[in-house]
Chains A and B, each alone.
Chain A
Amino acid sequence: MIQLVIIGIYLSLLLFLGVFSSRLFKGTSKDYMLASHSIGPFLLLMSIFGTTMTAFALVGSSGEAYKEGVGVYGMLASSSGIIHSLCFFLLGIKLWSWGYKYGYTTQIQFFRDRLESDRIGIILFPILVGLVIPYLLIGVMSSGVVISSITEGAFESSFADYDYGVPPWLGSLVISLVVLIYVFFGGMRGTAWANTFQTIVFMVLGVVTFVVISSKLGGLQAASHAVLEKNPSKLMRAVDPADRVRYAERYQTWTLVAKYNYARRILKTLKLTDAQKAEAYKEFKPRFPNWQTSAEAIYASENELYKLTNEQVNKALLTQDDRVMPDPFPDKWKQGLMAHHDLREYPRRANAEDEKAMLIFAENIGHPEHDLDPNDPSKGKKWTIKKALGVYRASSWAPDAPHPMSKLVFFTYFFVPLSVGMFPHLFQHWLTARSAATFKLPVVAHPLFIMIVWVPCVLVGIWATSATFEGAPLFPPHFPANAVLAAMVKKMTSPVLAGFLTAGILAAIMSSLDSQFLCLGTMFTEDMVVHYAGKDRFTDKQVVFMARMFIIIIVAITYGFSLLEPRRVFTLGVWCFSGFSSLFPIIFAAVYWKRLTKAGTYAGVIVAFGTWLYLFREAKFALNPDYTFLGMMPVATMVVVSAAAMILVSLVTSPPSKETLVRFFPED
Chain B
Amino acid sequence: MRYTVYGLVVLLIIIHQDNWLWDDKRLIWGFMPITLLYQAGISVAASIVWFLATKYAWPHHLEEVAKEAPAQETGETE
Contacts and interface: CB of A to CB of B under 8 A. Distances in A.
A177 to B, nearest CB: 27
Interface string B25-36: 101001111011
Contact of A79 (B16, B21, B66, B71): B16
Given A224-B32, A228-B25, A411-B17, A448 B59 contact: no
Given A82-B46, A85-B46, A535-B76, A103 B71 contact: yes
Interface in A383-412: 404-405, 407, 410-411
Interface stretch (A27-35, A131-139, A316-324, A505-513): A27-35
Interface in B20-74: 21-25, 27, 30-33, 35-36, 38-40, 42-44, 46-47, 50-51, 53-54, 58-59, 61-63, 65-66, 69, 71-74
Contact of B23 (A238, A434, A445): A238
A443 to B, nearest CB: 5
B36 A455 contact: yes
Nearest to B12: A82
B47 A448 contact: yes
Which secondary structure characterizes the binding site on chain A? Answer: helix
A78 B43 contact: yes
A410 B47 contact: no
Interface stretch (A68-76, A354-362, A623-631): A68-76
Given A223-B31, A224-B33, A455-B36, A444 B50 contact: yes
A447 B50 contact: yes
A427 interface: no
B77 to A, nearest CB: 5
A237 to B, nearest CB: 5
A451 interface: yes
B47 A445 contact: yes
B50 A101 contact: no
A122 to B, nearest CB: 17
B18 to A, nearest CB: 7
B63 A450 contact: no
Contacts of B73: 30, 103
Interface residues of A, number: 73
Given A237-B23, A237-B35, A444-B54, A94 B59 contact: yes
Interface string A405-448: 10100110010000000000000000000111100100111111
Given A33-B74, A93-B59, A434 B16 contact: no
Interface in A89-131: 89, 93-94, 96-97, 100-105, 109, 113
Nearest to B36: A70
Contacts of A446: 47, 50
Interface residues of B, number: 47
A186 interface: no
Interface string A527-547: 000110001000000000000
A428 B13 CA distance: 28
A502 B10 CA distance: 39
A236 interface: yes
A489 interface: no
B65 A225 contact: no
Given A237-B35, A448-B47, A437 B74 contact: no
A462 interface: yes
Contact of B76 (A85, A103, A458): A103
A458 B13 contact: no
Contacts of A661: none
Contacts of B74: 28-30, 33-34, 103, 105, 526
Interface in A216-265: 220-221, 223-225, 228, 232-233, 235-238, 240
Contact of A236 (B12, B25, B77, B78): B25
B22 A237 contact: yes
A434 B47 contact: no
A29 B76 CA distance: 12
B62 A444 contact: no
A450 B44 CA distance: 10
A86 interface: yes
A234 B36 CA distance: 11
A235 B27 contact: yes
A224 B32 CA distance: 7
B75 A97 contact: no
18 contacts: A28-B74, A30-B71, A36-B71, A70-B33, A71-B35, A73-B35, A74-B16, A85-B50, A101-B65, A101-B72, A102-B72, A103-B74, A221-B30, A224-B33, A235-B25, A240-B23, A414-B13, A436-B65
Interface of A: 28-30, 33-34, 36-37, 70-71, 73-74, 77-79, 81-82, 85-86, 89, 93-94, 96-97, 100-105, 109, 113, 220-221, 223-225, 228, 232-233, 235-238, 240, 404-405, 407, 410-411, 414, 434-437, 440, 443-448, 450-451, 455, 458-459, 462, 526, 530-531, 535, 663, 667
**4 nearest A-B pairs in the assembled complex, by CB-CB distance:** A103-B72, A238-B23, A220-B31, A451-B43
